[in-house]
A and B are shown apart, each in its own frame.
Chain A
Amino acid sequence: MNIAFDRPVLLVALVLALLPWWRLPLRVGEHAWLEMWPPDGLSTGIDIGLRIAASLAIAALIAGLARPYIGAQTVEKIARGAHVVLTLDRSLSMDQTFAGRNPQGGEESKSETARRLLTEFIGERDHDLFGVVSFSTRPMAVVPLSDDRRAAQAAVAAAATRGLAFTNVAAGLFISLSYFKDTRASAARAIVLISDGAAEIDFRSAEHLRARFAEYDVSLYWIFLRTAGSPGIFDAPDEPRNDNAKAMPERYLHRFFQSLSTPYKAYEAENPAALAEAISDIGRLERRPLVYEQRLPRRDLSGWVYAFAAVMLVLGVASKAAERELVV
Chain B
Amino acid sequence: MIAETQREFVYRIRWRPQSMRPGAHTSQRSGMGQLFSGYASLLDHPDPRRLDLNASVRDPYGMLYTRVFRQRAAIPVMLLVDRSASMRFGDKAAFTAAFADATARSAIATGDAFGLLTLDDGARALHLPPTFKRGAAQGVIECLQEGPSLGRRLGEPRALATRLPRERALVFLVSDFHWTTRELDGVLDGLARHDVVPVVVWHEREYSALPRRGLMSLQDPETGRRRTLYMRPRLAERLRRAYAERRAYLARQFMRQGRRPLFAGARFDASVLTDHFLRTA
- In the complex with contacts A36-B239, A36-B246, A324-B211, A31-B218 CB distance below 8 A: yes
A327 touches B217 (CB 8 A): no
Partner of A28, one of B210, B217, B223: B217
B182 CB, nearest partner CB in chain A, Å: 13
B252 CB, nearest partner CB in chain A, Å: 17
**Contact flags (1/0) for A245-260 with B, using CB distance below 8 Å?**
0000000000000000
B89 touches A34 (CB 8 A): no
Closest residue of chain A to B241 (Cβ to Cβ) is A38
* B218 partner residues in chain A, CB cutoff 8 A: 28-31, 34, 37, 326
Closest residue of chain A to B221 (Cβ to Cβ) is A30
Question: In the bound complex, what is the Cα–Cα distance between A32 and B217 (angstroms)?
Answer: 13
Asked if A24 lies at the interface with its beta carbon under 8 angstroms from chain B, I say: yes
Question: In the bound complex, what is the Cα–Cα distance between A152 and B197 (angstroms)?
Answer: 98
Closest residue of chain A to B201 (Cβ to Cβ) is A32
Within 8 A of B (CB), among A196-229: none
B206 touches A32 (CB 8 A): yes
**Contact flags (1/0) for B108-134 with A, using CB distance below 8 Å?**
000000000000000000000000000
A43 touches B228 (CB 8 A): yes
Question: In the bound complex, what is the Cα–Cα distance between A324 and B215 (angstroms)?
Answer: 6
Asked if B276 lies at the interface with its beta carbon under 8 angstroms from chain A, I say: no
B228 touches A46 (CB 8 A): yes
Asked if B36 lies at the interface with its beta carbon under 8 angstroms from chain A, I say: no
Could you count the A-B residue pairs with CB atoms below 8 Å apart for me: how many are there? 115
Asked if A6 lies at the interface with its beta carbon under 8 angstroms from chain B, I say: no
Q: List 23 A-B contacts (CB under 8 A).
A: A23-B226, A24-B228, A26-B215, A26-B228, A27-B217, A29-B217, A29-B218, A29-B219, A31-B206, A32-B87, A32-B92, A34-B220, A34-B227, A35-B178, A37-B218, A40-B230, A43-B228, A47-B227, A319-B215, A322-B214, A324-B231, A328-B203, A328-B205
Question: In the bound complex, what is the Cα–Cα distance between A50 and B203 (angstroms)?
Answer: 30
- In the complex with contacts A36-B242, A37-B242, A38-B235, A31-B217 CB distance below 8 A: no
Please give the residue numbers on chain B whose beta carbons come within 8 Å of chain A beta carbons, in ascending order: 86-90, 92, 176, 178, 202-203, 205-207, 209-211, 213-223, 225-231, 235, 238-239, 241-243, 246
A23 CB, nearest partner CB in chain B, Å: 8
Closest residue of chain A to B207 (Cβ to Cβ) is A36
Max count, chain B CB within 10 A of own CB: residue among A24, A40, A322: A40
Shortest 4 CB-CB distances between A and B: which pairs?
A: A324-B214, A33-B178, A324-B211, A26-B217
Asked if A238 lies at the interface with its beta carbon under 8 angstroms from chain B, I say: no
Max count, chain B CB within 10 A of own CB: residue among A33, A322, A324, A327: A33
Question: In the bound complex, what is the Cα–Cα distance between A33 and B226 (angstroms)?
Answer: 11
Question: In the bound complex, what is the Cα–Cα distance between A276 and B198 (angstroms)?
Answer: 105
A36 touches B230 (CB 8 A): no
Question: In the bound complex, what is the Cα–Cα distance between A26 and B145 (angstroms)?
Answer: 31
* B207 partner residues in chain A, CB cutoff 8 A: 36
* B231 partner residues in chain A, CB cutoff 8 A: 324
Closest residue of chain A to B87 (Cβ to Cβ) is A32
B235 touches A32 (CB 8 A): no
A36 touches B227 (CB 8 A): no
Partner of A33, one of B176, B216, B217, B230: B176
B49 CB, nearest partner CB in chain A, Å: 59
A327 touches B205 (CB 8 A): yes
Please give the residue numbers on chain A whose beta carbons come within 8 Å of chain B beta carbons, in ascending order: 23-24, 26-38, 40, 42-43, 46-47, 50, 319, 322-328
A37 touches B229 (CB 8 A): yes
B214 touches A323 (CB 8 A): yes
B217 touches A40 (CB 8 A): no
A50 touches B221 (CB 8 A): no
A33 touches B219 (CB 8 A): no
B219 touches A32 (CB 8 A): no
B206 touches A28 (CB 8 A): no
- In the complex with contacts A26-B228, A324-B216, A32-B238 CB distance below 8 A: no
* B227 partner residues in chain A, CB cutoff 8 A: 34, 37, 43, 47
* A327 partner residues in chain B, CB cutoff 8 A: 205, 209, 211
* A33 partner residues in chain B, CB cutoff 8 A: 86, 176, 178, 206, 220, 222
Question: In the bound complex, what is the Cα–Cα distance between A328 and B242 (angstroms)?
Answer: 19
A43 touches B229 (CB 8 A): yes
Question: In the bound complex, what is the Cα–Cα distance between A31 and B236 (angstroms)?
Answer: 14
Question: In the bound complex, what is the Cα–Cα distance between A43 and B215 (angstroms)?
Answer: 9
